[in-house]
Structure 1
Amino acid sequence: MQTPKGAWTVAGMLFLYMLVNFADKAVVGLAAVPIMRELGLSPREYGLLGSSFFLLFSISGVLVGFAANRYSTRWIILLLATVWALAQFPMVGTVSFATLLICRVVLGAGEGPAGSVGLHAIYKWFPDEKRTIPTAILSQGAAVGVVVALPLLNMIIIHASWHWAFGTLGIVGLCWAFGWWLLGREGPIVDPPMPEAGALRVGYSRILLAPTFIGCVVACFGAYWALSLGLTWFTPFVVKALGFSQASAGFISTLPWLMGACTVMLSGWISQVLVARGVSSRAARAMLGCVPLIVGGLLVLAVPHVSDAAAKLALLVVGGGLTGPIYVVCAPMIAEFTPIAQRGAVIAIFGAIYTLAGIIAPYVSGSLIQGAATVLDGYQQGYMVSGSAQIIGGIAGLLLMWPARDRERIRQHRIATAPVGAVRGA
């Protein structure tokens, strides 16, 4: 199937959409030290602030995901981006911990559906065999958003204040929303991935209990534990535990994302080439996502066993960067066996479950840091938990991800339960 005209314009806009999305997420971690100093926050309180972003993240992801099955993704995305932008402006003035907490909860509610709705939107522009690279591009928006935004936001924090870092993101968010209003369109691809009984729905339990779906959830939960830890605690680790300045931390904090950008694009390209050559999705997607996740976890577990600060950073940069491929491959695998009429909700449920790691990880690490004998010990204990989560997720994914089998099971179920004549007419 040919890619429709205008597909890459929409892909480019959605790339920028994810760029803004992750810059919004990352700013609180970048500004962690001045925020903790100004508001007098303990590590546990700051961990609660990091976790608060994810309080409504999953719930809104599911609700908006179901709405995406019925309503235009163009207008849903416009509404979400507007919420993100407006949630930043209260931080420009004097702010209390409670206000900051509420604004992060609202921002999380607006950003919870972002990834799943963006994927659902972009899959309306690209057929199945051409989805891996667009998925990687969407994921790249996250990495590039952090790499581009962190040095600029750090300059604002140093030379103005952390308050104006939030305000700048609000202005950028409104500009993107206006651009999307002008250029965003709904994709024309509506044919279901399975020709037999194409119009028929499947019980959600059958999809959500498919081994591949469960494997994707567990693997991405482990990866997202690492990501949420990076968003919240990496910059404070660099400044407070390793002794770097805030100015240096702005650059250092981009390194895991640069590594992630490289692994995401490389894995996306390799996966799409393999699928085009007829390699099974099990090999071209599942293994390509899970093996790097396991290797990355092993590298993170080695952090306490090296003494040099540069070596610790190198292990965290590479180990964290190797989580990226799992996000590229899981959504296309789930889309292989999900009816298109249910895809928006299923991808949203998938995202809502694995991002629960974001509620747990920042607070757990904050508690470990506060209770440890030394600051460095506390951070390293947090990273030991994170590395273990990566390894467990990667192993579970290797054991459970068999997309071709799940596709065939669901196809047979749809045929068996179809009304007489429905399959033939589909």
Structure 2
Amino acid sequence: MPVWKAVIVPRIGRSETGYILQFGEIWITRRLNVSIGEIESRRHASTAPAAPSTRRAWLVTGLLFVFMLINFADKAVMGLAAKPMSETFGLDSAEYGHVASSFFLLFSISAVVIGVLANRVPTRWLLVGLAVVWSLSQAPMIWTTSIGVLFASRIVLGAAEGPAFGLANHSLHKWFVDSRRQLPSSVLALGSSVGTLLAAPALTWVIVHHGWREAFAAVAILGLVWCAAWVLLVRSEGPYGAESAPTQAAPVANAAIEDHTSYWRIFLSGTSIGSLALGFAAYFGLAISVAWLPRFLQESRGFSMTGAGNATAVFWAVAGLFILGTGILSQRLTLAGITTTWSRGMLSAALVFGGGLCTIAGVMVHSPMGSLILLMIGLGAPTSVFAITQTLAGEIAPVRQRGAVLGVGVGISTLAGVIAPTVMGNLLDSASDTVAGYNNGFTVVAMVCVAAAMVGAALIRPGRDAARLRTISSS
């Protein structure tokens, strides 16, 4: 006769409890407003052979921060070199927009493929592989005069960089428990802003004094240097990954964690749909900023190339402040006992909504400086949600499926990158003048942000969705 076993699992810092029941070899679990990530983190904390080194965890965070810094320097160099490169290849606005969009042609697909692969292959080696490929893909830019080679180089670079953010977050989550992941995740995302912040003036100087081809060579070398540092300093996957999962002989309270949840159920949950909508909107504005902001400043605001590079650096500094500030605020709210519906979900929706309002205000304001400030805030604020949406995805996904879930999430959100640069290019070519074309493009960004924020606010409920996803059928 099968034996029922029950274990009461108290919620840390709250009065709710959950239960896990065993009937023969079948586990039935029910949890009240608790994330999967929290349960798994507590399980790993109790079964790992030793507590993780905080110093080691933050060393990994620092290296992954640099990884994302170089990743976005690779993206930024295209926008910074847009004018001289377009002149070299004879590209008009629409053609340049197509080249910029080609970067994202395989970006989303590779994010999904590598995300699934991350469930089976150690992430530290996948990260090295990505960095090597994206560095080598820049090499043809040093000498080519062929538009075909230009397109091929951007497509391969996009394929190598597509999985970077999701994979880096998956690697990072192996070093921190769920309740303490938001700040390091935001530090990781901060690498995107700091990368462009540092790249804008530095690469602009290289372009002005040496040439745009040398700027591509510089970022390629940086990627290879990072690979060497990562291989030397990181020798393990971290204590909170699937590699640390206990065997079937583990305690009863932890066994249900290892069950597989349908990917369809994960991605059709309200939290997933809302997070993807916010990520899509944020990436729509980000793709416009990376591909068009320096050129916009030169053509619409009369900046010199050096001035545009410096102003672009200011924009990324603003974005960086939003990313870091939001990460600190979100983690403090979570640790204070605020549900992640509010500390992560509603906070993200508010930032994207506010970004949309500031962007449309920037279009309507006649003062050039006032318009520029509002556009910088409007485009910068939504970038802070990338880290939070990754944490939300990790909150509802089982640890053994987390790599695929994060990768697919990045893949779907970054589809915006395929669309946005081309939309801006086409609007510029069809507008009566350059200023009107840019204003039309930024208006589209604002509309996408406001719509996505409403979807996110209505659907993101991680506690509810985590409980549903963890209910295991007894049949």
Q: Would the TM-score normalized by the shorter structure come out above 0.5? A: yes
Q: Which residue of 2 aligns with 1:278?
A: 337
Does residue 390 of the first structure (1) align with residue 444 of the second (2)? Answer: no
Question: For the structure 1 residues 242 and 275, does the alpha-carbon distance in structure 2 shift closer, same or farther, using more than 3 Å as the test?
Answer: same
Summarize deviations over 1:183-223 as a string: whole Å, max 9, x none: 1231121367x946111101110101001000001111011
Aligned partner of 1:318 among 351, 357, 377: 377
Is the Cα–Cα contact under 8 Å of residues 256 and 316 in structure 1 kept in the other structure? no
Does residue 151 of the first structure (1) align with residue 204 of the second (2)? Answer: no
Could you tell me which amino acid in structure 1 is paired with residue 186 of structure 2?
Answer: A
How many angstroms apart in 1 are the aligned matches of 2:187 and 2:363? 34
Provide structure 1 residue ranges, at least 5 long, that are not aligned to the other structure: 420-426
Aligned partner of 1:189 among 212, 232, 240: 240
Is the Cα–Cα contact under 8 Å of residues 82 and 177 in structure 1 kept in the other structure? yes
How many angstroms apart in 2 are the aligned matches of 1:328 and 1:78? 21
Could you tell me which amino acid in structure 2 is paired with residue 126 of structure 1?
Answer: F
Is the Cα–Cα contact under 8 Å of residues 13 and 184 in structure 1 kept in the other structure? no
Q: Which residue of 2 aligns with 1:89?
A: 139
Does residue 62 of the first structure (1) align with residue 112 of the second (2)? Answer: yes
Q: How does 1:226-265 map to 2 (within 5 A)?
A: 226-265=285-324
Q: Which residue of 2 aligns with 1:4?
A: 53
Is the Cα–Cα contact under 8 Å of residues 144 and 150 in structure 2 kept in the other structure? no
Does residue 27 of the first structure (1) align with residue 86 of the second (2)? Answer: no
Shift in Å at residue 410 of structure 1? 1.0
Q: Which residue of 1 aligns with 2:431?
A: 372
Q: Which residue of 2 aligns with 1:112?
A: 162
How many angstroms apart in 2 are the aligned matches of 1:156 and 1:94? 18
Aligned partner of 1:74 among 92, 107, 124: 124
Q: Which residue of 1 aligns with 2:411?
A: 352
Could you tell me which amino acid in structure 2 is paired with residue 4 of structure 1?
Answer: S
More helix by share: 1
Could you tell me which amino acid in structure 1 is paired with residue 239 of structure 2?
Answer: P
Shift in Å at residue 333 of structure 1? 1.4
Aligned partner of 2:259 among 190, 196, 200: 200
How many angstroms apart in 2 are the aligned matches of 1:312 and 1:97? 35
Is the Cα–Cα contact under 8 Å of residues 261 and 470 in structure 2 kept in the other structure? no
How many angstroms apart in 2 are the aligned matches of 1:277 and 1:195? 25
Provide structure 2 residue ranges, at least 5 long, that are not aligned to the other structure: 1-44, 46-50, 246-252
Could you tell me which amino acid in structure 2 is paired with residue 83 of structure 1?
Answer: V
Q: Which residue of 1 aligns with 2:214?
A: 164
Is the Cα–Cα contact under 8 Å of residues 358 and 378 in structure 2 kept in the other structure? yes
Superposed structure 1 runs of 4+ greater than 3 Å apart: 1-5
Aligned partner of 2:148 among 94, 98, 117: 98
Could you tell me which amino acid in structure 2 is paired with residue 21 of structure 1?
Answer: N
Summarize deviations over 1:367-394 as a string: whole Å, max 9, x none: 0001110011111100000111111111
How many angstroms apart in 1 are the aligned matches of 2:266 and 2:112? 15
Shift in Å at residue 3 of structure 1? 4.5
Shift in Å at residue 148 of structure 1? 0.8
Shift in Å at residue 328 of structure 1? 2.3
Q: Which has the larger radius of gyration?
A: 2
CA RMSD in angstroms, aligned pairs only: 1.5
Q: Which residue of 2 aligns with 1:223?
A: 282
Does residue 209 of the first structure (1) align with residue 271 of the second (2)? Answer: no
Is the Cα–Cα contact under 8 Å of residues 116 and 404 in structure 2 kept in the other structure? yes
Is the Cα–Cα contact under 8 Å of residues 288 and 325 in structure 1 kept in the other structure? no
